[in-house]
Structures are given as C-alpha cells and as structure tokens.
Amino acid sequence: MRISEALDSGRIGVPYGQHGWRPAGCPPKPCGRGWRGVAGLVVALIFGGTLNFRAAETEASRPTQVLVAYDSLSGHTEKAAAAVVEGARQLTGVQVTLKRVEAVVREDLEAADGLVLGCPTYYGTMPGRMKTVIDDWSWKMKVDLTDKVGGAFATGGGQTGGKEFTVISLLMFMVNNRMVVAGPLYRNEKTGSVWAEAGATAMTGPADPGVGEVELDSARRLGHRVAELAVKLRRGVSSASRTNPPSARAPE
Ligand SMILES: Cc1cc2nc3c(=O)[nH]c(=O)nc-3n(C[C@H](O)[C@H](O)[C@H](O)COP(=O)(O)O)c2cc1C
C-alpha cells in the first residue's frame, strides 16, 4: 500500500494545524496529541512498506504473460498462431494464451506483457473485421497497451499480395498504442551474424499452398522473440520506474 493510499483509507493521520496530527476520518477538531499521529505515521510506514514489498514480490514472481490473438476464416492463420504459441512457450516462466481476436476481453489485454497479433490478408491489408476489433480495444474499451511488447504475423494467398503490409499495419496499430514492437530473429550459424524481420508471414495460395515448415519456423521465432523481450522488459521495469516523456515541442 502506498502512503497516499494509507492516508486516503484513514490508516494514518494527517497534519492538523498547530495540533499536530489527527487520524484521517476524525472530525476537523483536535482529537489526538501530536505523538499519536507520529506513532501512527511510523506504524503506517512500516506496514505500508511491508505491503509494498509483498506486492512487488508477487509481481516479480508471477509468470510473464503473452497473448496471441488471431483472425482466421479457413485455418491458415490459426496454424501460424499455434506456431507462435510454441515459440513463446520455449521460454521458462512464460504463460501463453491463444485466443481468436474477437474473444479477447479486457482482462486478457491488461494481463498481457506481450501481445502477438495475426490475420489473413484481405485486399492487400488486414480484414476490416480485425481492424474493428483491435481499434475498439483502444477506442471503446480504453485499454492501456503502453510498454507491452508486440509482434505480428499474416498469411496471404499471393506472393506479393500484401502479407508484409498486413504485418506493418498491425505493428502500426501497436506503435500508435505506445507498444514496443519486434520481429523474429535469425542467426547464420556459419558466420554468427544475426538479422531480423518485421514479422512472420506465410503464402497459402495455389503456388505454395498451406503454411510450410519454413513459415512455421518464422512464426515460432516471432513468438520466442516477443516472449523473450517481454521477460526482459518486465525485469527492467521492476528496477526502473516508468518516467513521463518530455512534452512535445510547441511549434515556434
Ligand atoms: C476476401 C478475401 C480477400 C483476399 N485478399 C487477398 C489479398 O489481397 N492478397 C493475398 O495475398 N491474399 C488474399 N486473400 C487470401 C487470404 O489472405 C489467404 O487465403 C489467407 O491465408 C486466409 O487465411 P485464413 O485461412 O486464416 O482465413 C484473400 C482472401 C479473401 C477471402
């Protein structure tokens, strides 16, 4: 419990002019000597500190939560989503939830440290139904996605039918909702060099039907990367409190 909360709940006293401290909730007349207030404050500091410590301990010991939410009509994106889950589960201490995007509720979003979104490509971008659902998380549900780690995947029938653009559109949604985004990493075992991509995609049309092993591997890497960063960011946040960004510069 924070000191301000203890004050609000009446657990500790508040300053009362020249009469020292009075317990909160006491009528506005002197009803206690100064030493009582001071003793109350000391107790509250110890009590509040213990509660704060316990809350921090509970927060640190809970698993890192990754939510994988997807849209899929004929099952291709769902298959990729399952691979994203597999990749995220490779990390210890990570709990992964897989849901269709329309089934996601406020609690899922609030609990998530990492959020991976996937959908098919429709006419070169994400399907309108996907956009409506995710827009409402912010616009209607007012969920705060700040500092959650995000990643995206998409399937598309064509080679250059817009899969990558769909991924970018999902990432753009995330960035605009103050999330931190990442894509899958690849390592060249011979040279040791590492590179990254914007997200995971799969071509599902007649020229290359279904979601192939290489594409599933990308999806696994995406899940792994987002989960890994979510774990790292949580560790960092527990030791450094979030700061307010500087104000936007007014036009000169
Ligand atoms: C209405 C509609 C529009 C589509 N538009 C595109 C497109 O613009 N580019 C593309 O590559 N694939 C397009 N596709 C193909 C789907 O993106 C592809 O089949 C996808 O893998 C389906 O995913 P799902 O099985 O998860 O529903 C379209 C499919 C439908 C039904």
| Tokens read off for 125 | 């971008």
Ligand 1, atom 1, residue with closest C-alpha: 122
Residues in the chain, pLDDT under 70: 1-37, 40-41, 43-58, 237-252
Quote the CA–CA distance of 118 and 127 in Å, as a whole number: 11
Specify the domain boundaries for CATH 3.40.50.360 within the chain.
62-239
Query: Is the CB of 121 inside a 6 Å radius of any atom of ligand 1?
Result: yes
CA of 87 to the centre of ligand 1 (A): 24
Ligand 1, atom 31, residue with closest C-alpha: 122
Query: Is the CB of 206 inside a 6 Å radius of any atom of ligand 1?
Result: no
CA of 72 to the centre of ligand 1 (A): 9
Chain centre to alpha carbon of residue 167: 18
Ligand 1, atom 2, residue with closest C-alpha: 122
**Tell me, what's the pLDDT at 53?**
58
**Tell me, what's the pLDDT at 247?**
67
The pTM (predicted TM-score) of the whole model is 0.79
| Cα dihedral 158, 164, 166, 171 in deg (nearest 10) | 170
Q: Among 1.10.10.10, 1.10.540.10, 3.30.1370.60, 3.40.50.360, what is the CATH number of 62-239? A: 3.40.50.360
pLDDT in tens, 166-224: 999 999 999 999 999 999 999 999 999 999 999 999 999 999 999 999 999 999 999 99
